[in-house]
Each structure stands twice: as structure tokens, then as C-alpha cells.
Structure 1
Amino acid sequence: MAAYLFILPAVLLVATFEYAPTLSAFYYSFTEYHLLIPEKWIGFDNYKELYQDSVFWKALRNSLMYFLIIVPLLISLPLLLALLVNLKMRGIYLFRVLYYLPVITSMVAIAIVFKYLYHPVGLINAFLDLFGLKQYELNWLLDSRTALPSVALLEVWKAMGLYMIIYLSALQSLSQELVEAAKIDGAKKLRILWHIYLPHLRPIFAVTLTLASLASIQIFTSVYVMTGGGPQNETLSLPMQIYNEAFIRLNMGYASAMGIVLFALMMVLTMINFKISRGGRGV
């Protein structure tokens, strides 16, 4: 009994703040519930309404676009950073700290700063003007062509430090004798990277792929602060639309149905990543 008593606080915490809300959302997704009035069982009507809701499909499409932009960048760019900060040189610890700082900085603060950077008279357009690229100056967050990629790049920049640390920990666990033996055999840097570093990092790719996939589907704060989902819902993510339905329109039942769809989408991505990682270990 002693072991069960020790884990009881953690079990109660998870059950109260994870499983109970999830089960409640599943129940409310089959009801008409507007927060201020008792819920009314309506079966699958919320899901039928989702099927005909163009804004929901737009938000779902945008979430998938975030996924397609963010995931490849968060798998590749932090690896390059990790390879750089893994070098043995003076001041390398300072670079590690600088690259990791955005991870522990408030997303709200970062989003406000980037909102000014993306402004038509902000630093990005000033930089383009400095090099004679005035024709490429844009209103980044109000142009439907650039708004979503601009938000996605902010998410990548903020999260890179975390994935860099994950890769760096794996790189530092690699036997240096193996690398030295490859160099003695005449292997060049690219061949060492391809045949030693990347196979060693294969299990880590499974971790970063799963984390990046789930993070890209759950984008909310940056969208809320920078664009509010605009222009014309071009940056609207599925979590942002769930927030609008639940806390702006107080339509909790309909928002719960969207939440279940988001939950199912995340489960599918997790299972796909799990299959990929298992296949990678079997090679």
C-alpha cells in the first residue's frame, strides 16, 4: 500500500486536470451547452454542423499548413544549430544560452515584438529597403499570402532552442572514438555526418517529430496576439477557433466537438509518428 499512497497525489492530479476535462468535453460535444443554461442532449448535431462549417474547415486547413511549414523546419534547423554549438571553442556556452533564451521567454512578449518587426514600417521592411529590395516590402500580417508563414516562422524561431538541446544531448552521448576512427579511415565531414551522426540520432528524430507535430497543431498564443486569426481567417488555427466558440460565443457544446476533432487529429499524428519511429528502429 505504501507505493500506491506515494503515487496517489500524482494520480489524483492527472485524473482531475487531464482525464476528467477530457471526458467532460466528450460528453458536452453531444450537447447544446451555452454555459449559462443547462446542457441539452442533441446527439451528433454538433458534428453535422462541423461538416457544414466553412470556418471550421478553414481553421483545420490552416492548422495543417502550420504543420507542413513548422515540422520540417523544427527537425532540420535545430540539428544544424546543435552541430554548431557542439564544437569545442571558447564562448560556446554563451551561444548555447543565447539560442535557448527564446524557449523560456514569454510567447506573448515575443509575439508583440514580432508584430512590430512585421509592421509595414518595421525592422524587416527597413532591412529590405537597406539592400534596395523595396519592391519586396509587405504588410506581412495583413497580406493573405504572407500572414500564415510569418506566424509559423515565429513559432519555429521560439522553439528551435528546445530541439537544439535535445539534439545536443544526443550528440554529446556519441562515442568520440567512433568519430576519430572514421577520420583516420579518411572519412570526410559529410560522410561522418551521414553515416555516424544521423544513424545515432534516429531515435531522437522520432521524439522531435512527435513534439513538433503536436506543437504545430496546437498553435494559439501567437495567432491570438499577432493576428486574431485574420486577415479573413487566413491565420486562424483550430485551437483559436475553439477559443472563439467557447469563450466569445459561449457555445461550449460546439467548441467541445471541435476539441474532440483536434484530439483525434493529434492522436492520429502521434500514431503515425510512432509507426515511423518503430520502422526506423527496425532497419
Structure 2
Amino acid sequence: MAGPLFRGLRQSWRTTLVAWVFLLPALVLLSLSVLIPALMALLMSFTKTGLDVTEPLVFVGLANLRRLAGDPMFFKVLINTLIYLVGVVPPIVLGSLALAVLLNRSLPGIHFLRGAFYTPVLVSIVVAAIAFRWLYAENGLINGWLSAFVGTDFVPIGFLTNPFLALPAVMLVTLWKGLGYYMVIFLAGLQGIPKELYEAAELDGSDGLRKHIDITLPLLRPYVTLVAVVSSIAATKVFEEVFLMTQGGPADTTRTLVYYVYDQAFAELEISYACTVGLALFLLVLLLTAVRLAFAGDQGLL
């Protein structure tokens, strides 16, 4: 008994060792690029430091957290981020799901249509932001079309200079970039649903929109949860669109949490306070992840 047991344990130990050897390079890179910087940022949020890494860290305890709690700009950018989250996630979930249902068909040219809707995902965010900034300009294409339609009395609309329009205008870029990506996720889920279920539903009198309510939505629940949470996390970390299109303006109406971290770190040189704001962002993302795990249950996708 001891011999086979010993050989089994040795084989198990050898398999585990080989697995860790293969994982070691990825773990080292992950530690150097993510884990160690994250721990350093957490440490620096309790200190006072600048860009000079040679200066000793001065421990200030909860001073940065108290500053954060009394910072009106932090709460403004937090509200902006939550508005961005609410304004982007539901349209992305519903829009990408609707696109996936429409394109989950065997029709001539359907692959071309799928590729066309996926193309914005391949466009660089820099190119997309510059293109939309030109479209939104007062002498840009959108105002040109509106002027041609309305006539000489038309007053150009400042999409990126109007405090009420700037944030929705930036949101539209995120929606345009994200719909195709999440559409592919829903397409993968739809193609995993047996066609026999829809045929049985039609025999029971469930057709059109009703069959999607009865069959598609319940079976796509893990995918809906995944898309909702991934898009929520992406929306809370939005930066490139804001940086390239509005620089946080006008009147800070498009300033988000990540942009505020960037502004504090590299404009104000408040590295320790930027780490504290980053910690708040991490807790917000952690909360969204916890919500995803709570709602997904055993059916959630990894």
C-alpha cells in the first residue's frame, strides 16, 4: 500500500511543481506590473510624498482620507462617474443584446454586417476621440448638417463646450466603441442556445418578442451579468475619451475619477492624494465586482 501511495503523492507533487514553473513567469510579471505597484499605492495613500522617489515617505495616517472626505471636487467627479456609469451601461447592455439578436440569423451578407458593427472596436480610441471631436465642433460635420437643414437662423451647438451636452457627447463615443465588442459576447451566448427550444416555443404559441422574453433572456442571464459588470468597470475607469475631447471641462462637468487621479498626480504633483483617490476608485470597482458575484450566482461566467 505504501508504495503505490508514495508514487501517487510523488506524481501529484511533480505535476504541481511543473504547473507552478509554467505559472512563475506570468506571476513575476503580474507582481511587478500590478501587485507591487498596487501595494505601494496603498502605502503611499497614508503618506505625504511627491514625484521625487528618493525623498523619505512621511507617514501622515488618515490625513489623506480626511482630505478626501472633505474634498468637494472628489464628490463632484464621483457623481460625474456615476452619471457616466448609468448613462453608458444600460444602453450598452440593451443595445448590444438587440444587435446580437438581430444578427443571429442565417442571411446573405450577415457576416459582413457583423464585421461592420464590430469595426469600431478595432478603431483606436485616440482616432475615435479626435474624429468625434471634429464631428462635435461648432464648424464640424454635425453642425454643418443641422445648419443645412435649419437654414441661416441656425446657431451652432457647442457639444463639447456646453455643460449639459459635454458628458453625453463623451458617453456616445464609449457607446460607439463598446457596442460591437459586447455584441460578440451575446452572439456567443445566443449560438449556444439550441434551436429546438425556439421551435418548441413557437408550437406553444410563443413567437416574436415573446420567445425572446421566455427563452433568450433567461438563458442569457450569465452573459447579461457579465456584460453589465465588465461595462460598468470600464465606465468607472474612463479616461482617454475625457482627456482627448474635453480635458475635464467645461466647468468640470466631464471630470471623472480616473482623470482626477491623473490631474492630482501629474498636474498638482499630489502623488499621495492621487493614490488615495485611486483607492476610492478601487473600492468602487470592488463593489461592482461583488454585485456581479451576488447576482450571477452559480450561473455566472468567469
> Is it true that 1:57 corresponds to 2:56 in the alignment?
no
Structure showing greater radius of gyration is 2
Instruction: Kindly state the Cα deviation for residue 135 of structure 1 after the two structures are TM-superposed.
Output: 5.9
* More moved, 165-174 vs 29-38: 29-38
Q: Is the 8 A contact 1:46 1:253 kept in 2?
A: yes
SS at match of 2:150: coil
CA contact (8 A) 1:77 1:160 kept: yes
**Deviates further, 231-240 or 175-184:** 175-184
Aligned to 1:12: 28
The CA deviation at 1:132 is 3.1
Percent of aligned pairs with the same amino acid: 37
Unaligned stretches of 5+ in structure 2?
1-16
Paired position in structure 1 for 2:247: 228
Cα distance in 2 for residues equivalent to 1:187 and 1:60 = 44
Q: Which residue of 2 aligns with 1:263?
A: 282
Q: How does 1:191-230 map to 2 (within 5 A)?
A: 191-230=210-249
Q: CA shift at 1:42, angstroms? A: 0.6
Once residues 261 and 90 of structure 1 are traced to their aligned partners in structure 2, the CA distance between those partners, rounded to angstroms, is 50
| Corresponding position: 1:92 with 2:110 | yes
Question: Counterpart of 1:99 in structure 2: which amino acid?
Answer: F
SS for the counterpart of 1:64 is: helix
Partner of 2:119: 101
Residue 25 of structure 1 is matched in structure 2 by 41
Alpha-carbon distance in 2 for matches of 1:130, 1:179: 48
The letter for the 1-side match of 2:33 is F
- Alpha-carbon distance between aligned partners in 1 of 2:156 and 2:206, rounded to the nearest angstrom: 45
Deviation at 1:184, TM superposition (A): 3.0
Given that residues 139 and 156 in structure 2 are in contact (C-alpha distance below 8 angstroms), is that contact kept between their aligned partners in structure 1?
Answer: no
Q: Whole-Å Cα distance in 1 between the matches of residues 129 and 253 of structure 2?
A: 17
Provide TM-score, normalisation by structure 2. 0.89
Q: Do structure 1's residue 3 and structure 2's residue 19 form an aligned pair?
A: yes
- What amino acid is aligned across from residue 210 of structure 1 in structure 2? V
Residues in 1 aligned to 2:101 and 2:150: alpha-carbon distance in whole angstroms: 34
- Residue 117 of structure 1 corresponds to 135
**Distance (Å, rounded) in 1 between the aligned partners of 2:109 and 2:145:** 28
Q: Is the 8 A contact 1:29 1:257 kept in 2?
A: yes
Cα deviations across residues 42-96 of structure 1 (Å, max 9, x unaligned)?
Answer: 1111111112222211111100110110110111000111112112111111111
Structure 1 residues 132-177: Cα deviation after superposition (integer angstroms, max 9, x where no partner) = 3976852000000010111111101101111000000101111011
The answer on whether the counterparts of 2:229 and 2:289 sit within 8 Å (CA) in structure 1 is: yes
Higher relative contact order (CA 8 A, sep 6+): 1
Are the counterparts in 2 of residues 118 and 124 from structure 1 also a CA contact under 8 Å? Answer: yes
1:18 to partner: Cα distance: 1.3
Q: CA RMSD in A?
A: 1.7
**Matched AA of 1:216:** A
Q: Which amino acid aligns with 2:241?
A: S
Aligned residues: 281
Structure 1, unaligned runs of 5 or more: none
- The answer to whether the 8 A contact 1:128-1:136 is kept is no
Which amino acid letter does the alignment assign opposite residue 117 of structure 1?
Answer: L
Deviation of the 1:272 alpha carbon: 1.5
Q: Secondary structure at the match of 1:73?
A: helix
- Secondary structure at the aligned position of 1:187 is classed as coil
Matched residue type, 1:111: A
Equivalent residues of 2:138, 2:156 under 8 A apart: yes
